[in-house]
A and B are shown apart, each in its own frame.
Chain A
Amino acid sequence: MQTIKVLVANRPRLMRELVLATISDQPDIEVVGVLEEEAAILESVERAKPDFLIVALDPSEERPHICDALLERFPQVRILALAAERNSSIFYWATLDIHSNRIENSEEGILTVLRGRKALSSLEQDTKWVPRPN
């Protein structure tokens, strides 16, 4: 069975532990790394080649800074940004631009997004990275 590789790098610590508690015992999901600091994300993605990266979503709900740099270099990676305080999370992916979709911040919501990885892969064909105009 092909597993879904996930790199977990969200904050704060409790939310990171809760994500790990949710996904680590799923047979089709493999946690390829856990990071406490965002600074190491690019290097870890290059090394571990995850399908998904999980980061924190700030209360402002602005797109996390790591999205642009990461998706430019690794457009095949999907990013799930989880809010610690609110009951919402945002899912980012790249085709010709960065897209996002709001999901419910729940165990079911996270697992649905991670397992929907293949459904999105059809969107990736014949696409290349084009930076967004400022």
Chain B
Amino acid sequence: MTTVVEKIPVFLLAENRLLREALARILNKKSDITVVGAAPYSVAVLEQIAAVSPQVLLLDPYPAVRGEAPLVTVLRNAIPGLKIVMIGMNPDKEFFLQAVREGIAGYMLKDASAVEMAAAVRSVANNQAICPAELCQTLFDCVALQHPAFPTFQSKQHFGLTRREQQLVAMISRGFTNKEIAVSFGLSEQTVKNHVHRLLHKLGASDRLAAVEMCRGNSFLPA
């Protein structure tokens, strides 16, 4: 009796034709993967992808596409359940976190091999996520900072701090710069500066250190 293996349908969205052609040939040699389509990005590509109903989309977000931030979101909204794996990426923390927020299932760095690419397809199809070891800490830090242990009610009543300002003061107390905070929150550095300015004003603090000391003194932050 022969067992029929259900193949994982994959779509390749990449500008580089060599990458599309050769990677499709390599993946199609795998007994459990089938490439159902490959195309460069265009305004019509969404319909093309939807028409072949892939389970996994390998996305090479070359510069022209990177400018269009909501691409991953648009793809996921158009094709419910689609697992998107970004390939050929740099270990850029900001871009990685943005991609995670948009809903990617995997993020593969430039030095990944074709074998690793095939393994990633299998993993995301099996509801697992792919995160490079270099970026795991970034993800852990980001999640940890989303829910700082901070007595919300007291600080709000006492100083009128918003939730965002409470998060900010907790991050400042841990030595994060405005730029690092901006990356974690997905905000611009200028927006974070504005938040910090308002925070200092509400606390009546002259600088960041004074703000942290003031919150610690009122037991709003651990000493």
Contacts and interface: CB of A to CB of B under 8 A. Distances in A.
Interface residues of A, number: 23
A18 B17 contact: no
Contact of A105 (B16, B87, B88): B16
A15 interface: yes
Nearest to B61: A85
Contact of B111 (A13, A19, A104, A105): A13
A105 B17 contact: yes
Contacts of B113: 13-14, 17
A83 B22 contact: no
Interface centre among A19, A59, A104, A105 (most CB of B within 10 A): A105
Interface string B113-146: 1100100000000000000000000000000000
A104 B21 CA distance: 13
Interface string A68-92: 0000000000000011111101000
B16 A14 contact: no
B111 A82 contact: no
Nearest to B20: A106
Contacts of B23: 14, 18
Given A14-B88, A18-B18, A107-B22, A87 B114 contact: no
Q: Enumerate the 7 nearest inter-chain pairs by beta-carbon distance, A residue then B residue, closest first.
A: A18-B22, A106-B17, A12-B110, A105-B18, A107-B21, A17-B114, A85-B62
Given A14-B110, A14-B112, A86 B19 contact: no
A17 to B, nearest CB: 5
Interface of B: 15-19, 21-23, 25-26, 40, 60, 62-63, 87-88, 110-114, 117
B129 to A, nearest CB: 20
Nearest to A21: B22
A38 to B, nearest CB: 15
Contact of A104 (B17, B19, B26, B63): B17
A62 B112 CA distance: 25
B27 to A, nearest CB: 11
A12 B40 CA distance: 20
B136 to A, nearest CB: 21
Interface in A94-134: 104-107, 109-110
A52 to B, nearest CB: 15
A85 B26 contact: no
A22 interface: yes
A82 B18 contact: yes
